Amino acid sequence: MPPYGITRFEKARLIGLRWLELAQGAKPMVEVHPGDSLIDIARREVETGILPLHVRRHLPDGTYCDIPLKVLIEAERQLRKRIRQL
């Protein structure tokens, strides 16, 4: 199954998951600026694709496909680049 970028629902779930980890004391994987909230840090981490997370997409035949976050973010960037070129 080729990835077509991350959906807003997948992104929201990953940001929420990472926010919870940060709230429980996990070390941020991006530079923290003064005034950043945990949600800002989590959003930046997800949008850069540096987190070692996977998105599981279920297929109609009952199987699933695990796609690394990094692959989805890169696919989204390529898609946006193609759209800008039109």
Secondary structure percentages of the chain, helix, strand, coil, to 5: 50, 10, 35
Is residue 26 included in any domain, yes or no? yes
Which residues span the domain enclosing 18?
A: 8-85
| pLDDT of 1 above 80 | no
For residues 76-81, give the mean pLDDT. 89
Report residue 36: phi and psi, to 5°: -70, 135
What is the number of structural domains in the chain? 1
CATH code of residue 79: 3.90.940.10
Q: Model-level pTM?
A: 0.86
pLDDT tens-digit map of 30-69:
999 999 999 999 999 999 999 999 999 999 999 999 999 9
- pLDDT attached to residue 2: 59
Asked if the structure places residue 1 within a domain, the reply is no
